[in-house]
């Protein structure tokens, strides 16, 4: 299994979010070669601004492992994490973050590029075009419906 495989799993989660009229961001957390958590944005459903895919995945992974630290784990997420999610990733000491599309408006690199844990490896651009397309098409549809 490789980064493309796991990003496809995150994209499947993003599609679930889109089907529920949530901003389509999906995430999976992998330990070894096993997916231990899957999540998608649920801020509307849960009426919770912190219910981002990454936050929900972190909680699920910690519950699966029975530990608060996610060392030796990789997060795959379709969109660059925001500063809130990046801070949570720092606190859980995740080993690696792989994201698809850049988030020039709200991504952590814009506001706090040094926020990730010093040992966390971050890689962007995996399946970037597909990850970007699901988000941009979601907002295009929203704008069309308003008109």
Question: Contact 120/94 with Cβ under 8 angstroms?
Answer: yes
The CA-atom distances, in angstroms, between 100 and each of 66, 67, 77, 134 are 28, 27, 7, 11
- Give me 50's structure tokens: 């912190």
CA 123, 110, 79, 100 torsion-angle sign:
negative
54 is catalytic: yes
- 58, HSE (Cβ side, Cα atoms, 13 Å): 25
**Of 13, 22, 54, 80, which residue is the catalytic one?**
54
Residue 38, phi then psi, degrees to nearest 5: -135, 140
Active site members: 54
């Amino acid at each position: 299994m490789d980064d493309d495989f796991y990003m496809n799993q995150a994209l499947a989660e993003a599609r679930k979010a889109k089907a529920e009229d949530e901003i389509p961001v999906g995430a999976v957390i992998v330990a070894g070669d096993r997916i231990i958590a899957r999540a998608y944005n649920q801020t509307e459903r849960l009426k919770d601004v912190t219910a981002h895919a990454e936050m929900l995945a972190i909680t699920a992974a910690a519950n699966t492992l029975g530990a608060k630290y996610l060392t030796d784990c990789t997060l795959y997420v379709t969109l660059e994490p925001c500063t809130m999610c990046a801070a949570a990733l720092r606190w859980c000491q995740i080993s690696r973050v792989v994201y698809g599309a850049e988030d020039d408006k709200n991504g952590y690199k814009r506001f706090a590029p040094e926020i990730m844990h010093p040992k966390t490896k971050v890689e962007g651009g995996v399946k970037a075009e597909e990850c970007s397309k699901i988000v941009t098409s979601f907002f295009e549809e929203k704008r069309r419906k308003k008109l």
